[in-house]
């Protein structure tokens, strides 16, 4: 029998979280939709692992085991990426605590911090992903997003983890863009990983999901309690769909990265494309840290077409690029972030590469740029 620790990404994705093989049973059991379960009349809830569906579900446990294997820690899944982030923040922070958040990260997290955290007495500091970071003395939690969404800056997780640990602070890393195959923050010294499973992790654009992973029993217990009390759980079918989708993660990411690399090479030569960013490009300011820290580059890139009308003409002319606000799916999508109130320029585009044929995609984007003017 092969050593499990030697398995590569493709094998790990296919087998992660699967139960022991039982003749006549499927590889991945179907979703368990029950809310209440039969209880042992003598032992009560202690007599079986399942008592009530909000606090536990066997389909959810299998998915948590799978993501935990890939991230290198224990995992709790929640109903969305935003639910995972807010659950983490609310379960860890108390009035009087200080939290450091990315100034250039996901705008909904910044909005939650200013509208909710500050309102309950949490001191909020916003710092760009690449820093400079302030003295972390007295800080309870440092939360970073790397690569950042949507600007794709990268922070040195190992160095920041050392600073946080020396100051007695926790470090949480949003791993949505990289996925656990692109980056393993817990191995780099982070205390917590949070991510949206809606995007590249599951990749089929057919569910909402989030998760928190950690090696800290205490912190994960706090997150679990928050999830149970607020009911921020994914449905059994979403959990099953997500686990099903993990098997192709390695294959999907490989094609998405290949497509991103090819598009970046083409876009670099376009005179009316500015602000091109992709951490896998040697000319990118994030490249030195990204190549040292990341195991593979994401299929997401960004650039600027100058104004909103040109972005609309570009997407309208493209045959293989759809306008959509999520990313990481099978289909290539483009999102003009300013339309959501994000503080980006009117022509800024976050482009998420799908798994289309590379030559077809490059040809289509090239023609669409030409048609856009």
Catalytically annotated residues: 54, 106, 174, 199
Q: Which residue has the tokens 């300013």?
A: 338
CA 326 to each of CA 15, 74, 120, 198, 200: distance values in angstroms, whole numbers, following the listed order: 27, 26, 30, 8, 9
Quote the tokens at residue 334: 């483009």
Listed in sequence order, the DSSP H helices in the chain are 9-15, 58-71, 81-92, 107-112, 157-167, 179-182, 217-230, 236-246, 249-267, 287-293, 308-317, 358-371
C-beta separation of 105 from 129 below 8 A: yes
CA 213 to each of CA 99, 148, 172, 174, 177: distance values in angstroms, whole numbers, following the listed order: 19, 19, 10, 10, 16
Quick one: which of 157, 145, 102, 146 has its CA closest to 127? Answer: 102
Q: Which residue has the tokens 């997401």?
A: 300
Q: How far apart are CA 6 and CA 3, in angstroms?
A: 6
Contacts of 16 (CB under 8 A, 6+ apart): 65, 66, 67, 69, 70, 246
Q: How far apart are CA 371 and CA 289, in angstroms?
A: 36
């Amino acid at each position: 029998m092969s050593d499990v620790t030697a398995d590569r990404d493709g094998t790990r994705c296919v087998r992660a979280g699967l139960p022991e093989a039982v003749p006549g049973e499927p590889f991945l059991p179907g979703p368990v939709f029950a809310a209440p379960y039969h209880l042992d009349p003598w032992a009560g809830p202690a007599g079986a692992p399942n008592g009530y569906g909000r606090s536990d579900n066997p389909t959810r446990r299998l998915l948590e085991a799978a993501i935990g294997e890939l991230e290198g820690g224990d995992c709790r899944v929640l109903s969305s990426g935003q639910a995972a982030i807010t659950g983490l923040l609310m379960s860890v922070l108390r009035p009087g605590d200080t939290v450091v958040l990315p100034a250039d990260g996901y705008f909904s997290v910044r909005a939650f911090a200013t509208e909710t955290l500050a309102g309950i007495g949490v001191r909020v500091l916003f710092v760009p992903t690449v820093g400079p970071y302030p003295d972390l003395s007295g800080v309870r939690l440092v939360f970073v997003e790397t690569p950042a969404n949507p600007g794709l800056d990268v922070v040195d997780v190992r160095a920041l983890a050392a600073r946080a640990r020396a100051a007695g602070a926790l470090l949480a890393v949003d791993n949505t863009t990289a996925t656990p195959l692109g980056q393993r923050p817990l191995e780099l010294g982070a205390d917590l990983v949070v991510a949206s499973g809606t995007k590249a992790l599951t990749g089929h654009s057919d569910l909402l999901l989030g998760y928190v992973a950690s090696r800290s029993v205490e912190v994960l217990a706090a997150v679990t309690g928050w999830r149970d009390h607020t009911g921020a759980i994914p449905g059994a079918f979403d959990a099953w769909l997500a686990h099903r989708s993990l098997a192709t993660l390695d294959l999907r990411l490989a094609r998405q990265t290949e497509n991103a690399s090819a598009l970046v090479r083409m876009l670099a030569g376009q005179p009316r494309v500015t602000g091109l960013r992709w951490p896998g490009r040697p000319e990118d300011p994030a490249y030195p840290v990204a190549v040292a820290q990341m195991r593979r580059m994401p299929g997401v890139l960004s650039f600027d077409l100058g104004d909103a009308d040109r972005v609309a003409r570009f997407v309208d002319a493209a045959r293989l690029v759809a306008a959509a606000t999520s990313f990481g799916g099978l289909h290539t999508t483009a999102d003009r972030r300013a339309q959501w109130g994000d503080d980006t320029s009117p022509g800024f585009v976050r482009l998420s590469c799908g798994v289309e044929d590379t030559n077809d995609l490059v040809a289509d984007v090239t023609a669409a740029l030409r048609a856009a003017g």
